[in-house]
Chain A
Amino acid sequence: QVQVVESGGGLVKPGGSLRLSCTASGFAFGDYYMSWIRQAPGKGLEWVASISSSGNILYDADSLRGRFTVSRDNAKNSVYLQMSSLRAEDTAVYYCARTPSIAAKTFWFDPWGQGTLVTVSS
C-alpha cells in the first residue's frame, strides 16, 4: 500500500543539527512532490518545506529559511529534512507527506507518515 515512514527524530541540544529521513513505498516516488509538516505539542499543523518530483524546485516556510533544507534521492525513494541551529521552539512531531497536485496549481498532502518527534532541549 501507499505509505511513507519517517525516521531520525530524537533529543538534540539547542544549536544542534539533525537530519530526518522519509522513505516511501507503494507508489511512483519520482512522480510526486514531497513535503514536511510539523506539529508542536498541543498545537496546529505548520508546513515546513516541499520539494518537486525531480528535486529542482524547493519551497520552504519563510520563518525556517536558512536553517532547514529539504532534499530527495529518487533512487532511494527518500526525502530528507536537514535541520540546523535548532531552537526549543522547533520541538515538534515532524510529518512527511506525499504531495499530489493538479497541474502544479494546487497541492495537498496524502498520505502522511506516522511522524517522528524532535525534542530540542539542553
Chain B
Amino acid sequence: SYVLTQPPSVSVAPGQTASITCGGNNIGSKSLHWYQQKPGQAPVLVVYDDSDRPSGIPDRFSGTNSGDTATLIIRRVEAGDEADYYCQVWDSSRDHHVFGPGTKVTVL
C-alpha cells in the first residue's frame, strides 16, 4: 500500500516560514492535498491539487510537489497557525485515500 511520511513536529518563530514535508514514492506524480486541524476542531482544507488554495485560505499558505517530496509552506507564521497538518493523496492503484501521519506545528 502507498505510504506517506511526515515529520512529527516542526517549530517556527512568529513571522518566519514553516516548511512541512510529505514524503512518498514518486509523490510528484500524484495530486497532493493538505489539511489543518486545530485542537478540538475538524480538519480544514488549506491546499489542494498540490498548490491550489480554497477560497478563504490566506496566500501565506502554498504548496509544492515534485519527485518524492511534497511541501506545505506557511509564510509569515502567526500564532493562529499552530495546529496539526496532514497530507493526503488518492492512490488510484488501490482506489484508496491515504493520509500522512500528521505534523504538529508549534509557534514559538
- Give residues in A with beta carbon < 8 Å to B: 35, 37, 44-47, 50, 59, 61-62, 95, 100, 102, 105-115
A102 to B89, CA, bound (A): 13
Q: Is the interface of B mostly helix, strand, loop or mixed?
A: strand
- Known contacts A47-B96, A107-B90, A115-B42; 8 additional CB pairs below 8 A are A45-B88, A45-B99, A47-B97, A59-B97, A106-B33, A108-B88, A110-B45, A111-B45
A22 to B65, CA, bound (A): 33
Cα–Cα distance between A59 and B96 once the two chains are bound (Å): 7
Binding site for A on B (CB under 8 A): 30-31, 33, 35, 37, 42-45, 48-49, 54, 86, 88-90, 92, 95-102
Chain B CB within 10 Å, residue with most, of A37, A61, A109: A109
Closest to A48 in B: B97
Asked whether A59 lies within 8 Å of B86 as measured between CB atoms, the reply is no
CB distance from B90 to the nearest CB of A (A): 5
The CA of A102 and the CA of B42, in the complex, are separated in Å by 23
**Chain B residue contacts of A113, Cβ below 8 A:** 42
Whether A102 and B45, one on each chain, are in contact in the complex, defined by CB atoms closer than 8 angstroms, is no
Known contacts A95-B43, A105-B31, A114-B42: A44-B102 contact under CB 8 Å: yes
Q: 14 A-B Cβ contacts within 8 A?
A: A44-B102, A45-B99, A47-B96, A47-B98, A50-B97, A59-B97, A95-B42, A102-B49, A106-B30, A109-B33, A111-B45, A112-B43, A114-B42, A115-B42
Closest-by-CB residue of B relative to A35 is: B97
Q: How far is the CA of A31 from the CA of B49 in the complex (A)?
A: 19
The closest CB in chain A to the CB of B50 belongs to A106
Q: Is the CB of B31 within 8 A of A45?
A: no
What is the CB-to-nearest-CB distance from A99 to chain B, in angstroms, rounded to a whole number?
9
Nearest 5 A/B pairs, CB to CB: A106-B31, A47-B97, A110-B45, A108-B33, A112-B42
Q: Specify which chain B residues have a CB less than 8 angstroms from the CB of A107 in the assembled complex.
A: 90, 97
Closest to A47 in B: B97
